[in-house]
Amino acid sequence: MNYNVNEKGYYGEFGGAYIPEMLYPNVEELRQNYLKIMIEESFQKEFHQLLKDYVGRPTPLYFAKRLSEKYNTKIYLKREDLCHTGAHKINNTIGQILMAKRLGKTRIIAETGAGQHGVATATVCALMGLECIVFMGEIDIERQAPNVARMKMLGAKVVPAKSGSKTLKDATNEAIRDWINNPVDTHYIIGSVVGPHPYPDMIARFQSVISEEIKKQLNEKEGRENPDFVVACVGGGSNAAGAFYHYLDKPEVGIIAVEAAGKGIDSGESAATSALGKVGIIHGSKTLLMQTADGQITEPYSISAGLDYPGVGPMHANLFTSGRGEFISITDDEAMIAGLNLCKLEGIIPAIESSHALAIFKNRKFKKDDIIVVNLSGRGDKDLDTYIKYFNL
């Protein structure tokens, strides 16, 4: 079975481009050109040069000795937290800004939840001298003041999304509306492997540098390219898509996707889309999403702002329903404890998103000689307030 996108833009039954006609010319332009542009030698050269010199890649693959001892298995951490701007998000924004330039676009829009993708977008726009507008839910603007300030310092305009629930899904709606209103000069940099085809595939390809590096680095350290398991947290799913990408068609590598259970799957305050979602359409993609029986999209909850998206990328929906991926959900409490645990054992303060991936070891047992790579998608600086409040630090 193939777990990548097919020529029609679907992963199994998921994906496609369910967009109003107003967006068709832009999305179609991108669909027709993205692969052509990505394989151009000049594109590859510029992309990899920037990843190396600007982002700081390759990021280390670090053997977490004390963590491994605690759980009696071999755990490697892929240190995406060491990327410039503090998370894997910039791999995608570098790729997309180069794409936008080659498509002749001069104005960049983006959505952001916690602000990480907004900061990564504002950063590359500053780098390239392009106008940048970031849509952010009004509630998130209040919750994430430092990231709002960072975006402003980087020259971006932050526009509050005041519609609906005033969070990530509404910021995405507002960005899409802006694109409808500005169909000629604007490129929309989506931050996760969501949205209409070709976005999920394009973004997965930009993020696939993560698993490309893991293969090489693991080979150096262990004499084999394939770990027994690769683990990543999933909100929309971009860091997971990047970490899984080169292992999708390798059945000997177990794929573990970790979702946010919030206060518990049955608590009514959760973001565990695979457990709670049904097939539907969100932001132009057919996927699993949390919704009412009547098809109204519901608001998810997680202590981690990067995981509270009511849908999941179509690649992951397919990994779930096909059984290729093992999906585990982790509560707020489990994630916070796992995050603090990593600080104490390894001297690394993880983003709360990544803490979800680290939390699986408490209940999911592995063999002593299993090699497990956990994608440490981001660093915890942005989450200090949450850590402080949670642990009364």
Partner 1 sequence: MNRIQQKLSENKKLLSIYFTAGYPKLGDTVEILQQLEKNGVDIVEIGLPFSDPLADGPTIQESSQTALKNGMTTDLLFEQLKDIRKKVSIPLILMGYFNPVLQFGVENFCGKCAEVGIDGLILPDLPLAEYEENYAAIFKKYGLINIFLITPQTSEERIQQIDSASEGFIYMVSSASVTGSATGFGNEQNDYFQRIALMKLKNPLVVGFGINNAETFQQATKHTSGAIIGSAFIKMLSEKGLDGISTFIKTIR
Q: Closer to partner 1 by CB, 278 or 344: give it.
A: 278
**Binding residue (CB under 8 A) for partner 1 from 282, 288, 315, 357:** 282
Total residues at interface with partner 1 (CB under 8 A): 35
* Site for partner 1 contains 16 (CB under 8 A): yes
Q: In this chain, which stretch among 241-249, 290-298, 323-331, 352-360 interacts with partner 1, using CB under 8 A?
A: 290-298
**Binding residue (CB under 8 A) for partner 1 from 33, 164, 337, 345:** 164
* Site for partner 1 contains 279 (CB under 8 A): yes
**Binding residue (CB under 8 A) for partner 1 from 7, 39, 129, 181:** 181
**Binding residue (CB under 8 A) for partner 1 from 35, 145, 153, 184:** 184
* Site for partner 1 contains 17 (CB under 8 A): yes
Sheet with 131-137, side-by-side order of all strands: 157-161, 131-137, 107-112, 186-189
Decide if 302 is catalytic: no
Q: In this chain, which stretch among 81-89, 132-140, 178-186, 349-357 interacts with partner 1, using CB under 8 A?
A: 178-186
- Count the Cβ atoms, other than its own, within 10 Å of residue 121: 32
Q: Quote the least distance from Cβ 289 to partner 1, whole Å.
A: 8
* Site for partner 1 contains 235 (CB under 8 A): no
Which of 237, 305, 311 lies closest to 272, judged by CA?
Answer: 311
HEC letters along the chain: CCCCCCCCCEECCEECCCCCHHHHHHHHHHHHHHHHHHHCHHHHHHHHHHHHHHHCCCCCEEECHHHHHHHCCEEEEEEHHHCHHHECHHHHHHHHHHHHHHCCCCEEEEEECCCHHHHHHHHHHHHHCCEEEEEEEHHHHHHCHHHHHHHHHCCCEEEEECCCCCCHHHHHHHHHHHHHHCCCCEEEECCCCCCCCCHHHHHHHHHCHHHHHHHHHHHHHHCCCCCCEEEEECCCCHHHHHHHHHHCCCCCCEEEEEEEEECCCCCCCCCCHHHHCEEEEECCEEEEECECCCCCECCCCCCCCCCCCCECCHHHHHHHHHCCEEEEEEEHHHHHHHHHHHHHHHCCCECHHHHHHHHHHHCCCCCCCCEEEEEECEEHHHHHHHHHHHHCC
Decide if 68 is catalytic: no
**Amino acid of residue 192:** S
**Binding residue (CB under 8 A) for partner 1 from 1, 2, 4, 25:** 25
Q: In this chain, which stretch among 21-29, 95-103, 253-261, 325-333 interacts with partner 1, using CB under 8 A?
A: 21-29
User: Catalytic pick from 74, 78, 80, 89?
Assistant: 89
Q: In this chain, which stretch among 176-184, 240-248, 337-345, 383-391 interacts with partner 1, using CB under 8 A?
A: 176-184
For residues 354, 301, 196, 46, the Cα torsion angle rounded to the nearest 10 degrees is -30
Cα 313 to its chain centre, rounded Å, is 9
Q: Closer to partner 1 by CB, 60 or 164: give it.
A: 164
**Binding residue (CB under 8 A) for partner 1 from 37, 90, 130, 297:** 297
* Site for partner 1 contains 363 (CB under 8 A): no
- Count the Cβ atoms, other than its own, within 10 Å of residue 182: 16
Q: Quote the least distance from Cβ 197 to partner 1, whole Å.
A: 11
Q: Closer to partner 1 by CB, 298 or 321: give it.
A: 298
Strand duo 254-262 + 229-233: pairing: parallel
Query: x/- site string to partner 1, residues 31 to 50, per CB under 8 A?
Result: --------------------
* Site for partner 1 contains 166 (CB under 8 A): no
Q: Quote the least distance from Cβ 169 to partner 1, whole Å.
A: 7
Q: Closer to partner 1 by CB, 24 or 43: give it.
A: 24
Q: Closer to partner 1 by CB, 293 or 393: give it.
A: 293
Q: In this chain, which stretch among 16-24, 73-81, 122-130, 231-239 interacts with partner 1, using CB under 8 A?
A: 16-24
* Site for partner 1 contains 22 (CB under 8 A): yes
Encoding tokens for residue 266?
């049955």
Decide if 111 is catalytic: yes
Residues marked active site are found at 89, 111, 377
Binding site for partner 1 (CB under 8 A): 16-22, 24-25, 163-164, 169-170, 173, 176-177, 180-184, 278-284, 291, 293-298
